[in-house]
Amino acid sequence: MDMESLAGAEFAPQTTYLNTASSGLIPARSVAAMKAALDDAAAGGRFADMAFEAVEEVRAAYARLVGVPARQVAAGASVAVYAGMIAASLPSGAEVLAAEGDFSSLVNPFAVRRDLKLRTVPLEEIADAVRPGTALVAVSAAQSADGRIADLAAVRAAAREHGARTLVDYSQAAGWLPVSAAEADYTVCVGFKWLMCPRGVAFLTVPEDLGGLTPVFAGWVAGEKPWDSCYGPVAELAHSARRFDESPSLYSYVAARHSLALIEELGTEAIAAHDRALADRFRAGVTELGHQAIAAPGSAIVSVPGLGEAAPRLAEADVHVSARAGNLRASFHLYNTAAEVDRLLEALAG
């Protein structure tokens, strides 16, 4: 089944929804699985057994998506929690380098730890700004505010030259932009955007040696034998990244299994080509209307200065985009069509 046919079978939006950078649409298969799990739990069924199996299937599917072994993937619910754990693992006085205006969930955990030195620079300068004494470079693969794509190869090379680790946030990338978690020390990603999962799904990847992190929020699920780790201190932490698991939002993970399966069926390369073509169509159209989008070549996210105030008016016309950093932000995913792009352009012109 081609992308348009599959999307038509899985999604039935009642509006022109061009806002995946805020929250992705959830496929019908995922919604059905989540509803069935709720019904089973309400009836006193064996929901929990099935749900914990789903967590492991989702972990494996995400590992395939980002190109690392499943043992290097932790399953949680929040980027901020994982960034906070990494922040807690840094020594006092360590310098953290981040991009100006990057998403708060990635940056703020380092800011609130006052004994760290947080330094920010423009995204385009981040690789050149790594210096001796930089302990960690934290950056989003694609910027939430405007879709600019980071030069991760340059960041990685600069970090290695100076002995720094790297933390990359895939929240605005994984699901449409081909990524490789093996090329960073740590990566984080929420599932409710381009991975089209319900809220409550997030991932952390770590190196094979687990990256020297302290699992400060470890509970029973972080045990090597979770069901033997329910009482008192956990005697043996998991030998894999599962030691960094948060107690999972089980209903969300039941649904996430099917959302990630859809991405695997279509393939990230095909999704990227589709999403980028729609974004380019919008860039060209908005230029004809006399506006200039922020330069973000190859991105599925398009941000247009001077149009942020149009977002509420567009919503009244059932065309959903975002206002971010004063700009209008539109984002295009596998369930969107060229006709929807044209509808947005017509609404802007009107």
**How large is the average pLDDT for residues 59-78?**
98
Residue 216: predicted pLDDT:
95
205 CB-near residues (< 8 Å, 6+ apart) = 63, 66, 68, 72, 73, 74, 181, 184, 186, 187, 188, 241
Report the percent of the chain where pLDDT is more than 70: 100
Over the stretch 249-287, which tens digit does the pLDDT of each residue have?
Answer: 999 999 999 999 999 999 999 999 999 999 999 999 999
**How large is the average pLDDT for residues 48-67?**
95
Give the model's confidence band at 97: pLDDT under 50 very low, under 70 low, under 90 confident, else very high. very high
CATH of 38-264 given 1.20.120.1200, 3.20.20.240, 3.40.50.2300, 3.40.640.10: 3.40.640.10
Over the stretch 302-322, which tens digit does the pLDDT of each residue have?
Answer: 999 999 999 999 999 999 999
Distances (CA, A) of 177 to 85, 93, 119, 150, 240: 26, 35, 27, 12, 26
Give me the sign of the Cα torsion angle 91, 124, 326, 173: negative
Q: Look at residue 1 and tell me whether its pLDDT is greater than 70.
A: no
Q: Look at residue 219 and tell me whether its pLDDT is greater than 90.
A: yes
Residue 290: predicted pLDDT:
96
**How large is the average pLDDT for residues 28-55?**
94
**How large is the average pLDDT for residues 34-54?**
92
Residue 340: predicted pLDDT:
96
Over the stretch 27-37, which tens digit does the pLDDT of each residue have?
Answer: 999 999 999 99
Over the stretch 154-209, which tens digit does the pLDDT of each residue have?
Answer: 999 999 999 999 999 999 999 999 999 999 999 999 999 999 999 999 999 999 99
**Across the chain, what does the average pLDDT equal?**
96
Residue 5: predicted pLDDT:
77
Residue 334: predicted pLDDT:
96
Computed on alpha carbons and rounded to an integer, the radius of gyration of the chain in Å comes to 21
53 CB-near residues (< 8 Å, 6+ apart) = none
Tell me the domain boundaries of the chain. 3-26+267-349, 38-264
Whether domain 3-26+267-349 has CATH 3.40.50.20: no
Structure tokens at 162: 């100076």
Residue 289 β-bridge partners:
none
